[in-house]
Amino acid sequence: MVARPVVLTVRICDYAGHMTVAATTVTVQSRPALLGWSPPNSTPADLSAMLTRFPQPRLLRLYTGAGGGLASWSGSLLSGTPRNATLIYSFKDRPASLDVAGWLSARPVSWTAPIYLCWAHEPEQGPTAGDPTPDEFRQGWRDLIAALAGHPRRSQVRLLPVFTEYAARRAGTWWADFGQVAALAGVDAVGFDIYDTGYPAYRTPVERNDFALAAARRAGKPLVIAEWGIARKGFDADGTLCAQAMRDNMSHLRRQPDVAAVSWFYRGDCNLDNRTPERQAFVELMA
């Protein structure tokens, strides 16, 4: 368990409009960050293959692309998903065009684990890549929050905007354009996809995660690393340095009191099937 401080604030307003504010800090215990995976593609076949490679995951991530709406609970994808594993689920269609409340109402009672629900992950790529404009992104999140406000099963989902660490770090207007969504009332956690692409060396855990942690802490919410991956660098012939970078990264994140979950993106140059040291590190870290 990891100890973390939580500030409890009470605001009381009397009939004359006088406001009294009181705050106290308490220390709560939180579990170290979960580590899981995302299959190469969100298909039943890829999900099944990953469950064969790494059975009984504690965390996994799935997606539905544009035009796919929200995945049916009885469809071939979600019906093959372990119901005791925390799920990070992303969808692309505008929340106002979907029956999000009805989708949550239909969630099977046998589904016991939390679900992080994300609309329009990695929005920074822009409309030419099929992503919303900043205005559309902010409105879409307001629509999603409103659609689930007061829902009797609202506690069963955690609303999670997911941003692109590489792009956000380099955009001076990122908070005004996209990041401010993280601070909306009704958003439960802040997500980032974090890779070492574009860096000649493996970044240290602090270098890799400082921006995402700062953004989540600015909003006062837990951090979820919804996609994580480290490609093997050319100077690291056998992958032992990459494996150590993976261990160091998770050790650092698990020492943070406000990191909830990390999902390895098992695809492309982050597929570990033929990367023995890195795969061994991954297996150890998931244990």
Mean pLDDT in residue range 29-40: 88
CB-CB contact of 249 with 27 (8 Å):
no
Centroid of chain to Cα 234 = 29
Residue 46 in this model has a pLDDT that exceeds 60: yes
- Distance of alpha carbon 274 from alpha carbon 51, whole angstroms: 17
From the list 65, 165, 62, the residue with the least C-alpha distance to 116 is: 62
Confidence of residue 129 (pLDDT cuts 50, 70, 90): confident
Q: What CATH number should be reported for the domain holding residue 227? A: 3.20.20.80
The DSSP call for residue 97 is G
Q: How far apart are CA 287 and CA 276, in angstroms?
A: 17
Structure confidence by residue, pLDDT tens digits, 145-187: 999 999 999 999 999 999 999 999 999 999 999 999 999 999 9
Mean pLDDT of 127-150: 96
Assign 31 a pLDDT band (cuts: 50, 70, 90): confident
Please count the structural domains in the chain: 1
The answer to whether residue 29 scores a pLDDT higher than 60 is no
The yes-or-no verdict on residue 7 having pLDDT over 50 is no
Asked if pLDDT for residue 56 goes beyond 50, the answer is yes
What is the residue range of 87's domain? 2-286
pLDDT at 6: 47
Average pLDDT score, the chain: 93
Q: What is the mean pLDDT of residues 95-114?
A: 96
141 neighbors 117 (Cβ within 8 angstroms): no
pLDDT digits (tens, 9 = 90+) for 263-277: 999 999 999 999 999
The model carries a pTM of 0.90
